Structure 1
Amino acid sequence: MYTKDWVAKWALYSPHQPALKELDTDRAYTYAELNQAANYLAAELTQTQRLRKGDRIMVLAEHCLEYVALFVAAQKTGLILVPINYRLAAGEINYMVANCQPALLIYEEQFEDKALQLQALTAPAVPDVWPLAKLATICHRGLEAFEPIPFTAAELDEDDPVFILYTSGTTGFPKGALYTHRMLLWNSLNTSLSLEIMPADVTINCMPPFHTGGWNVLLTPFLHRGATVGLLKKFQPERLLALLDQEQADIFMGVPTMLKMMMESPAFATSDLGSLRYFIVGGEALPLEVIRAWDRKGIKIRQGFGLTEVGPNLFSLHQDDAVRKIGSIGRANFYVETRLIDEQGQEVGPNEVGELCLRGPMTTPGYWRDPEATAKALPDGWFRTGDLLRRDDEGYFFVMDRIKNMYISGGENVYPAEIERFLLTFPGVSEVAVIGVPDARWGEVGKAFVVTKGLDISCDALLAYCAGNLARFKVPKYLELVAELPKNDTGKINKKALLAAV
């Protein structure tokens, strides 16, 4: 049985190595300090507050030192963290409270009104509610102790959850994906093997803690490798460029919107970024012009792909292939098994589109208190992603679209992501979203929303460009120029908002 108390090991091996730094405050923890704070917190939660393995702690806060110390305490105790999207309304969060029934709610002071609303809405109310300041006080007491505070980690099973991560559900209710200690380990191994993470490495994390990317793309793999993570609450292009230089970051993960905004920042030209090995990019594919702009800067781009329930670090495109295999997510990482299947469940061949199915030790055992959703997602041990992919003759994977985004026009399957990638090759086009809309003749047709860089580009010119290069059924019937596209909390284009507005 492997140890799940990673930080205790690094506190022994490299006690003075920086573990965490808050870039908004310059507060920091070494591995010894992080372990000391987490040990004191673990003792407070289990011995004083009498919380037990499997109890849920819901957190309504941005990333900070104490939040990560709480995660380390969860590794030691078997308590389950439930990070909540603080941008949601109290009524939306209330469903999650009722669903996971936390024993403790911790809220950052800026979200106090929302926490109070939750207590009023929830029946029964959460048994205990703490402001984040109380968590900070407990951690500080641990650091003030004259002697190291021992804490004997609980005996945990590999499949005990460490997180419940809520994702949007097709029924209109969010689903709580179980993220286990086994998943933590194997996601870190996949990440470390692919990205060659070393203890001397430094990264900056500005992904929110309610998203798996805020924990499991780089933060937890870096803690597993004894490396250093800078925590940044808000993404600001100019400041982030300066901090990447100041902290001598080796790797940075962002979504495409971030990289485009950084590239367009006035600070882009003067930033050195000489310490960076590469950027990790998830979400939509980056336009070729953005990849080339960063390449001229000397920064290689590694396109990746993952999801909350599996990984999330599942595929990676090596930086040397960033231009040659534009649009690809690369090959599957080391311990990831893949299949592409058709609607009958049969595997498809090279260059054919099929639903991606995944298997491996980084796969969720299911959803919290939702056996129906679990059975649907894992009917035979393979996780059905709902993503449509194609694998080329060299074994490189390309995301065609989500099954739910695909529409059928005149009997032909149309994948909006394919049209979006093509329109992004038109000079001056910066963002595109394509959706299917009802049509009396064809059943459904495409409507494209296009953002340009202030250039004088006409809809007719864009449609003519499509007509000359795409099959007729793929050419959008409608095209609208817009100033911006709606985004969700992680910076991805919100197609539900576009569909609702049609």
Structure 2
Amino acid sequence: MDLSHLIERNATFTPDKPALRFDGGTLTYAELQQRIATTAQALKAEYGVGRGDRVAILSLNHPDYLVLLYACARLGAMLVPLNWRLAVAEQVFILSDATVKVVVLQQAFATLLPPLTAALPDARPVGLDFTPERGLSFDTLLTRAHGDGRNPHTDLSCPLLIVYTSGTTGRPKGAVLRQEALLWNGMMSQHMHGLTSDDHVLTVLPFFHVGGLNIQTTPALHHGATVTIHDRFTPDHTLATIAQERPTLTVLVPATMQAVLDHPAWADTDLSSLKAIATGSTIVPPALIDRFTARGVPVLQVYGSTETCPIAIYTRIGGDLSRRGSTGLPGLWCEAAVVDDDGAEVPPGAAGEIVVRGPNVFFEYWGNEQATRDALHDGWYRTGDIGTRDADGYVWVHDRKKNMIISGGENIYPAEIERVLLQHPEVADVGVIGVPDPKWQEVPVAYVVRRTGCTVAPDTLKVALTAHVQAELARFKVPRDVVFVDDLPRTALGKVQHFRLKESVRRD
């Protein structure tokens, strides 16, 4: 059995049920299953894609993204999702690192092809919506399908995804996720969301991250639900779809939550179909959650990473949502703990590194044994995130361990300062980093994006923000300086890239 069998079984139980909706069209479970089988046959017949081969995709969200995922599962091959926001040089690095055999891409990203040919002359391009030089269109490829479309010794233990980390600390690494990781991740999603075949999931986050792909999308397909796909997030399209197509679940990260809340249609959009939204990716400001719950929409928090597929810790529908700021309890099918530098669990309330163990955890970093050894200890994945647990086991996430600022012997977590600054009405965005200081080793400095329409003079606002933090946090945590900027470097899911912010400061 491989992961594509779940689509096959749902196609048997409910062949005519909508599986995927996209851009006005619908694929039933029977049609989805047939397209997966045909794609697997074509990849094997035309390009000899075998067990362990890598197939990359560079595309906005599209039904064939998921078709390729499950076709790779049938073949025992691995899908390499490419972040379309990366520069071409970064994409070529990933393709070369993974030594891909086939690259499926949309015409909008065809500028990749010349450097791809130079770096990987044997990689074959396939155009989702065009016919590339030296390659085929996807529809033409499907006409070449024949044979059984399976490879021997393919099962749930086979690696399925190589997802390159978002790069908040440096050069991306390819986290390898087995088929079974997606299976158990889907079971935890079911527990988290009360997911059934009656649900209708709206997916607006990009598939190139495990959040958009695996928090709700693949679990919904495994449980026979319906998924509506948007090629990319826009607040107006999201709100219109919620009102008109009435999904029951969706995932929004804090940046997209804020965009929805700021949209003029927010106040009047009918949200009554939503039984919950899920959020995560970074520390979630409680004020964002409050505005959704005030409209009667429960907000579920999920914590994890690329390496955990991503579901590891979560609050669940019908569960205890009263612990403000908590990301919940360890998932149904994994373990999580908070440990010190020696790996010993710390007492309730004490800060330590969050570690995760379970069948959802990644297998290795592709071609990087040292990074794998550094991250995995006796089956425990060391996340690099600092958190605390209360006596009941609920977890609070505070910051990245590598973002920690050591000032005069005191540990300062930038996310704590960022949380306080984001509460100020004139602050739209903020990133805090440590800068060298001859006396204190490091001191925190805040880089602030002001709210649109802010009329407060910079010097006056700087004094006000310093006083605002000083009223909430210890004196040593107050930023030594506040620098106003137009924007901040962020990942596609809204995480501030502190290492890039530090790089820009060093250049200046």
Partner of 2:47: 49
Aligned-residue offset at 1:97: 2.3
Aligned with residue 80 of structure 2, among 79, 82, 101? 82
- Kept in 2: contact 1:407–1:444 (CA 8 A): yes
Partner of 1:245: 243
Equivalent residue of 1:184, what SS? helix
Partner of 1:18: 18
Equivalent residue of 1:125, what SS? coil
Equivalent residue of 2:195, what SS? coil
Equivalent residue of 2:56, what SS? strand
User: Kindly, what percent of the aligned residue pairs are identical?
Assistant: 36
- Matched to 1:339, the amino acid is A
TM-score calculated relative to the size of structure 2 = 0.91
The 1:471–1:319 alpha-carbon spacing in structure 2 relative to 1, beyond 3 Å, is: farther
- Matched to 2:100, the amino acid is P
Aligned equivalents of 2:448, 2:141: Cα separation in 1: 49
- Kept in 2: contact 1:253–1:281 (CA 8 A): yes
Aligned equivalents of 2:486, 2:97: Cα separation in 1: 39
Identify the range of structure 1 (239-248 vs 3-12) with the bigger mean alpha-carbon deviation.
3-12
Aligned equivalents of 1:288, 1:378: Cα separation in 2: 32
The 1:71–1:211 alpha-carbon spacing in structure 2 relative to 1, beyond 3 Å, is: same
Partner of 1:477: 480
- Kept in 2: contact 1:300–1:320 (CA 8 A): no
- Kept in 2: contact 1:177–1:309 (CA 8 A): yes
Identify the range of structure 1 (367-376 vs 41-50) with the bigger mean alpha-carbon deviation.
41-50
**CA offsets per residue over residues 170-192 of structure 1, 9 Å max, x none?**
99432111011110100000111
Q: Map 1:151-300 to 2 at 5 A.
A: 154-168=152-166, 172-300=170-298
- Kept in 1: contact 2:2–2:73 (CA 8 A): no
Aligned equivalents of 2:206, 2:188: Cα separation in 1: 22
Equivalent residue of 2:191, what SS? helix
Identify the range of structure 1 (474-483 vs 343-352) with the bigger mean alpha-carbon deviation.
474-483
Aligned equivalents of 2:174, 2:484: Cα separation in 1: 37
The 1:311–1:129 alpha-carbon spacing in structure 2 relative to 1, beyond 3 Å, is: closer
Aligned equivalents of 2:352, 2:342: Cα separation in 1: 10
- Kept in 1: contact 2:41–2:150 (CA 8 A): no
Alignment length (residue pairs): 494
Aligned-residue offset at 1:324: 3.5
- Kept in 1: contact 2:75–2:149 (CA 8 A): no
Aligned equivalents of 1:151, 1:102: Cα separation in 2: 19
- Kept in 1: contact 2:251–2:278 (CA 8 A): yes
- Kept in 2: contact 1:434–1:446 (CA 8 A): yes
- Kept in 1: contact 2:200–2:225 (CA 8 A): yes
Identify the range of structure 1 (423-432 vs 330-339) with the bigger mean alpha-carbon deviation.
423-432
The 1:2–1:210 alpha-carbon spacing in structure 2 relative to 1, beyond 3 Å, is: closer
Aligned with residue 34 of structure 1, among 28, 32, 35? 32
- Kept in 2: contact 1:66–1:139 (CA 8 A): no
**CA offsets per residue over residues 450-478 of structure 1, 9 Å max, x none?**
34434547221221222233212111111
- Matched to 2:125, the amino acid is V
Identify the range of structure 1 (434-443 vs 454-463) with the bigger mean alpha-carbon deviation.
454-463
- Matched to 1:199, the amino acid is S
The 1:430–1:330 alpha-carbon spacing in structure 2 relative to 1, beyond 3 Å, is: farther
The 1:197–1:168 alpha-carbon spacing in structure 2 relative to 1, beyond 3 Å, is: closer
- Matched to 1:249, the amino acid is P
Q: Please, which runs of 5 or more residues in structure 2 have no aligned partner? A: 130-135
1:130 to 2:132 alignment: no
The 1:392–1:428 alpha-carbon spacing in structure 2 relative to 1, beyond 3 Å, is: farther
- Matched to 2:401, the amino acid is I
- Kept in 2: contact 1:359–1:383 (CA 8 A): yes
- Kept in 2: contact 1:206–1:214 (CA 8 A): yes
The 1:482–1:89 alpha-carbon spacing in structure 2 relative to 1, beyond 3 Å, is: closer
Partner of 1:467: 470
Aligned-residue offset at 1:430: 3.9
- Matched to 1:474, the amino acid is K
Partner of 1:501: 504
Aligned equivalents of 1:347, 1:465: Cα separation in 2: 35
Aligned equivalents of 1:425, 1:354: Cα separation in 2: 26
- Kept in 2: contact 1:37–1:142 (CA 8 A): no
